[in-house]
Amino acid sequence: MKHLFVSIVSKGAKSNTYKFALAKFLLDYSKTQNLKEEDYEISFYEIATKFLEYYWFQECKYKFKQDFNKDKMPVVIRIIQEHCGTEYIADSYEKYFKNRQELQETLIREIEKKCFDNVIPRFQPDEQNEFYQHFYSRAKDGKAYKSSSEKKIILKYEALKFFKKENETLSKILVLEWAKFLEKTNFTPRLISKIELMKDPKRNSLTKFRKILMEMEEECFYCGTKLENTDVHIDHFIPWSYIYEDELWNLVQSCSKCNLIKSDSLPPKDCIEKIVIRNEQRALSKWNSDITDYYENCYKAGFQIVNIENLQCNRA
């Protein structure tokens, strides 16, 4: 089974990342199940629910490019773009869909209907069905699969046991192969960490930076409001979702209003000069040449630039 899993994720045609997503689904699913000695029936709906999550993060949060074949955008991305737009979304996954449950249902139903006719039967090309049984059959030409009326797979007990036991190792292999595929079309920091997570992150507390930043300056970096100690927010200049780390050279102190407006977007371009000067004054200047590059690449990736009211950066 290990050999089969590795050969599925590392070999064969790669025009999109569905097989990685399906492998991730199987690993994630197995992790949550209690072992009982029987096969597990899994509906396409359940798989589609996780596909939405995986691809929503890649499309709306990380802004990965998925069109490895330039003229062939994966259907799941088309579905997400059609309903959620093509702009970066600052909200968390949970918050975004909390008030859009109907939209979430529509998306899952479309993914369920349109995305699995290739990946599910082709995930096990030798047709031994070692991992699961599916209900597709070959069309007359022997190549294509006829779509199946049974929208489910039956995951074998032995396979579930294997996915559970080897979960950590298999996940590492999967993330590596997925990253190898995406790095061909994506220039983004921390690609591997992003693929590894693909859900709302637990962010580290930034309070340890508060004292240092307030010693540097006592005003909001963006609007210049004098900050009271109780109302100091720590903001990632280059959005956290892009840069994926907490480093002092990228952190600024801000008022709650600016922090809320900016959220996980880019600040106006005028602010680059100000943070560069700040870093020069604070012995953080060795990262300054990177900031401009990060800013440009983050913008090119599709992150929005927000308007900050009473911006002071242009008067730095």
CB of 278 to Zn ion, least distance (A): 15
223 binds Zn ion, rule: CB under 5 A: yes
Decide whether 81 or 225 has the Cβ nearer to Zn ion.
225
Decide whether 220 or 234 has the Cβ nearer to Zn ion.
220
227 binds Zn ion, rule: CB under 5 A: no
Q: How far apart are the first and last CA of the chain?
A: 61
CB of 275 to Zn ion, least distance (A): 14
Q: By CB under 5 A, which span of 11-19, 23-31, 206-214, 253-261 interacts with Zn ion? A: 253-261
Decide whether 159 or 220 has the Cβ nearer to Zn ion.
220
Q: By CB under 5 A, which span of 21-29, 188-196, 213-221, 244-252 interacts with Zn ion? A: 213-221
CB of 219 to Zn ion, least distance (A): 8
77 binds Zn ion, rule: CB under 5 A: no
Q: How many residues bind Zn ion (CB under 5 A)?
A: 6
237 binds Zn ion, rule: CB under 5 A: no
Decide whether 261 or 291 has the Cβ nearer to Zn ion.
261
CB of 221 to Zn ion, least distance (A): 7
258 binds Zn ion, rule: CB under 5 A: yes
Q: By CB under 5 A, which span of 68-76, 223-231, 235-243, 272-280 interacts with Zn ion? A: 223-231
Decide whether 60 or 255 has the Cβ nearer to Zn ion.
255
261 binds Zn ion, rule: CB under 5 A: no
Quote helix, strand, coil % in the chain, to nearest 5: 55, 10, 40
Say what the alpha-carbon torsion angle 156, 157, 160, 161 is, to the nearest 10 degrees.
-140
Tell me, what DSSP letter sits at residue 226?
B
Decide whether 123 or 237 has the Cβ nearer to Zn ion.
237
Decide whether 161 or 269 has the Cβ nearer to Zn ion.
269
Q: Which two tokens stand for residue 163?
A: 């996915």
181 binds Zn ion, rule: CB under 5 A: no
Decide whether 155 or 258 has the Cβ nearer to Zn ion.
258
255 binds Zn ion, rule: CB under 5 A: yes
CB of 274 to Zn ion, least distance (A): 13
CB of 211 to Zn ion, least distance (A): 19
220 binds Zn ion, rule: CB under 5 A: yes
Question: What are the DSSP calls for the chain, one per residue?
Answer: -HHHHHHHHHSS--SSSHHHHHHHHHHHHHHHSPP-SS-EEEEHHHHHHHHHHHHHIIIIIS-----SSTT---HHHHHHHHHH-SS---S-HHHHHHT-HHHHHHHHHHHHHHS-TTHHHHTSTT---SSEE---EE-TTSSSEEPPSS-EEEE-HHHHHHHHHTHHHHHHHHHHHHHHHHTTT---TTHHHHHHH-S---PPP-HHHHHHHHHH-SB-TTT-PBPPGGG-EEEESS-HHHH-S--GGGEEEE-HHHHHHHTTSBPPTTHHHHHHHHHHHTT-GGGHHHHHHHHHHHHHHTPPBPP-TT--GGG-
Residues near Zn ion (CB under 5 A): 220, 222-223, 225, 255, 258
